[in-house]
């Protein structure tokens, strides 16, 4: 164990990155590791959804439709709330809007659009490489023109049926999900390629958000992740980097040199690194 003590160049007292950069909010303080600097994407998307939410019951109802995959002999129909329906309306070959099984989220939204259940689908996506994020993220707005009720119908086939095309002999309504109110919705997701749903927020029967989505999202505290500020707690040098770049440039009036995050040293649980200028200080980061 000889020499262990001389290798211990970590700070003698625990430093909190929030104190170094002078903020009280964890949302803006990135995780700092040797090959990564960025904030978790999921909470940044959730912050927007929580901020814009106007009716949690409506949000839960559309989420259930987006996530619901009917069983093998079942169909999920989305029925106009004003349409008077009877069990006969669900007979095989009916003209109601039934959702397919096994579709992923992207094709589910496309399906809903195809049937006219949703319209005006418009999305925004940001790659993790162009910002200080753990994953890419996406925001999609869409409009539900008429309130619909999701109805699950189970079809029973004759006993001799063995996979060949055959009409059901009878059918029954097994479940009626919560009605999906008309209005604007915002879908929040994370991922660079395959997206996973963070949540859905009901924006209201009318909303200004869809026409200027990114501007509204940018006003939500903790959402922006395109700029990274760095500050030393000892020499007080300040740097900044933008658009996911790892090159930190000195702020105007700061005498320190630029430096690359690849060259940073002395990573620790404090989410700070050794100051490349004064060597003795710790550099903390702020993403916004
Ligand atoms: Zn320093």
Instruction: Quickly list DSSP for 109-134.
Output: HHHHHHTTSSEEEEEEEE-GGGTTBS
What is the pLDDT averaged over residues 183-212?
95
Closest residue by Cα to residue 149 from 183, 189, 123, 180: 180
pLDDT given at position 48: 97
CB count within 10 Å of CB 230 equals 29
Question: pTM for the complete prediction?
Answer: 0.85
266 CA to centre of ligand 1 in angstroms: 13
261 CA to centre of ligand 1 in angstroms: 15
CB count within 10 Å of CB 39 equals 25
The torsion region of residue 145 among left (phi > 0), alpha (psi -120 to 50) and beta comes to: alpha
- 119-177 pLDDT tens trace: 999 999 999 999 999 999 999 999 999 999 999 999 988 776 565 556 788 899 988 88
pLDDT given at position 215: 96
274 CA to centre of ligand 1 in angstroms: 8
- 257-277 pLDDT tens trace: 999 999 999 998 889 999 999
pLDDT given at position 157: 83
- 35-81 pLDDT tens trace: 999 999 999 999 999 999 999 999 999 999 988 877 788 889 999 98
pLDDT given at position 275: 96
Tell me whether residue 246 is exposed, middle or buried, using C-beta atoms within 10 angstroms of its C-beta: 0 to 12, 13 to 18, 19 or more. middle
131 CA to centre of ligand 1 in angstroms: 25
278 CA to centre of ligand 1 in angstroms: 4
pLDDT given at position 248: 97
72 CA to centre of ligand 1 in angstroms: 63
121 CA to centre of ligand 1 in angstroms: 49
32 CA to centre of ligand 1 in angstroms: 17
Which uninterrupted H or E stretch holds 227?
strand 227-232
Say whether pLDDT at 105 is over 70. Answer: no
270 CA to centre of ligand 1 in angstroms: 16
CB count within 10 Å of CB 284 equals 26
Say whether pLDDT at 216 is over 80. Answer: yes
234 CA to centre of ligand 1 in angstroms: 5
260 CA to centre of ligand 1 in angstroms: 15
d(CA 251, CA 278): 16
**Strand runs (DSSP E) across 29-169, as ranges?**
31-33, 36-38, 74-80, 98-99, 119-126, 137-144, 148-156
Is the CB of residue 112 less than 8 Å from the CB of residue 165?
A: no
Strand-pair partners of 249 = 240
d(CA 71, CA 25): 45
- 2-42 pLDDT tens trace: 333 333 334 444 567 777 776 656 668 899 999 999 999 99
CA of residue 166 relative to chain centroid, distance: 42
């Amino acid at each position: 164990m000889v020499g262990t003590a001389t290798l211990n160049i970590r700070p003698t007292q625990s430093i909190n990155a929030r104190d170094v950069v002078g903020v009280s909010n964890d949302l803006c303080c990135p995780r700092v590791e040797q090959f990564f600097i960025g904030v978790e994407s999921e909470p940044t998307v959730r912050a927007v959804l929580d901020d814009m939410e106007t009716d949690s019951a409506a949000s839960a109802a559309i989420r259930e439709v987006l996530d619901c995959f009917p069983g093998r002999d079942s169909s999920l129909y989305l029925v106009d709330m004003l349409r008077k329906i009877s069990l006969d309306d669900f007979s095989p070959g009916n003209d109601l809007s039934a959702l397919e099984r096994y579709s992923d989220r992207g094709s589910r939204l496309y399906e809903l659009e195809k049937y006219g259940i949703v319209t005006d689908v418009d999305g925004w996506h940001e790659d993790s490489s162009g910002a200080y994020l753990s994953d890419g993220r996406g925001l999609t707005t869409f409009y539900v023109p008429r309130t619909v009720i999701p109805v699950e119908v189970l079809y029973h086939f004759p006993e001799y049926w063995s996979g060949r095309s055959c009409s059901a002999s009878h059918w029954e309504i097994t479940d009626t999900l919560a009605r999906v109110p008309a209005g604007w919705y915002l879908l929040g997701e994370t991922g660079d390629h395959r997206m996973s749903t963070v949540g859905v927020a009901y924006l209201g029967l009318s909303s200004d958000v869809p026409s200027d989505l990114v501007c509204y999202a940018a006003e939500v505290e903790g959402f922006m992740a395109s700029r990274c500020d760095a500050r030393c707690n000892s020499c007080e040098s300040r740097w900044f980097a933008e658009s996911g770049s790892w090159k930190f440039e000195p702020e105007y009036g700061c005498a320190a040199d630029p430096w690359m995050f690849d060259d940073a040293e002395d990573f620790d649980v404090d989410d700070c690194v050794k100051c490349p200028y004064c060597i003795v200080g710790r550099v903390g980061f702020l993403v916004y």
